[in-house]
């Protein structure tokens, strides 16, 4: 065997590189605490903005699946469901009532709870972006309105007219209640508590 060189065949080695992508997570949000001495309109806007950003703050850092995670049974609440619901509440009170605009609800046209319930195929990133956009539409809807301006009801009680001030106060109350829900849901998901 001296002097004989054997040909060596090499089999190419195939390697598969797994690309690991981090799952989408809701981004952090900066919140501004309302001042202690302000005019009425400025105070109402500051408090509603604080509550809007608090809901987003409760979602920050969570994946789409975590945002869809339900609270303790029998409750069907989830953080994403709350975001979707508040998107429609913003639309209902600011654009449909205050601006007297005819338009459908985004997630629940028949108002049967689908904003909370139909989440399996929901696009969390798109839903959060839609919430942010609806807030901008809401601000624009009342930018030229005075707090004393009276608007008609668009609901089941047409006799229940109200002023713009009432809408702001009601929205602050609505957010405060749902942000309490968001506190409990977030704590159940990952133990995070606090304002």
DSSP state of 161: -
Is 91 within 8 Å of 103 (Cβ atoms)?
Answer: yes
Is 162 within 8 Å of 118 (Cβ atoms)?
Answer: no
Q: Report, as an integer, the average pLDDT of 144-150.
A: 97
Who's near 5: CB < 8 A, 6+ residues apart? none
Which has the closest alpha carbon to 48: 37, 34, 63? 34
Which sequence spans correspond to the domains of the chain?
Answer: 40-190
pLDDT: is 194 or 37 the higher one? 37
**Can you say whether the dihedral through the CA atoms of 89, 91, 94, 98 is positive or negative?**
negative
Instruction: Give the pLDDT confidence of 102-132 residue by residue, as tens digits.
Output: 999 989 888 888 898 899 999 999 999 999 9
Q: Give residue 111's pLDDT.
A: 85
Which has the closest alpha carbon to 55: 191, 190, 171? 171
How many Å apart are CA 173 and CA 74, to the nearest integer?
24
Q: Report, as an integer, the average pLDDT of 143-155.
A: 93
Domain 40-190, CATH homologous superfamily name and number: dinb family like domain (1.20.120.450)
Q: Confidence class of residue 166 from pLDDT cuts 50, 70 and 90?
A: very high
CA distances to 71, 81, 118 from 76, in Å: 6, 9, 11
């Amino acid at each position: 065997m001296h002097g004989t060189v054997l040909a060596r065949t090499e089999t190419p080695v195939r390697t598969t590189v797994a690309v690991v992508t981090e799952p989408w997570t809701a981004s952090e949000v900066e919140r501004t605490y309302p001042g202690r001495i302000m005019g009425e309109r400025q105070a109402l806007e500051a408090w509603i903005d604080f509550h809007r950003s608090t809901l987003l703050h409760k979602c920050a850092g969570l994946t789409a699946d975590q945002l869809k995670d339900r609270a303790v049974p029998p409750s069907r609440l989830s953080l994403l469901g709350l975001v979707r619901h508040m998107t429609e509440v913003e639309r209902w009170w600011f654009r449909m009532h205050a601006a007297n605009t005819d338009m459908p609800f985004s997630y629940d046209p028949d108002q049967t709870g689908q904003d909370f319930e139909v989440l399996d195929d929901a696009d969390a990133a798109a839903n959060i972006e839609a919430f942010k956009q609806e807030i901008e539409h809401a601000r624009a809807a009342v930018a030229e309105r005075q707090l004393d301006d009276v608007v008609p009801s668009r609901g089941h009680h047409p006799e229940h007219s109200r002023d713009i001030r009432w809408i702001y106060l009601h929205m602050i109350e609505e957010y405060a209640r749902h942000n309490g829900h968001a506190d409990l849901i977030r704590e159940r998901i990952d133990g995070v508590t606090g304002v």
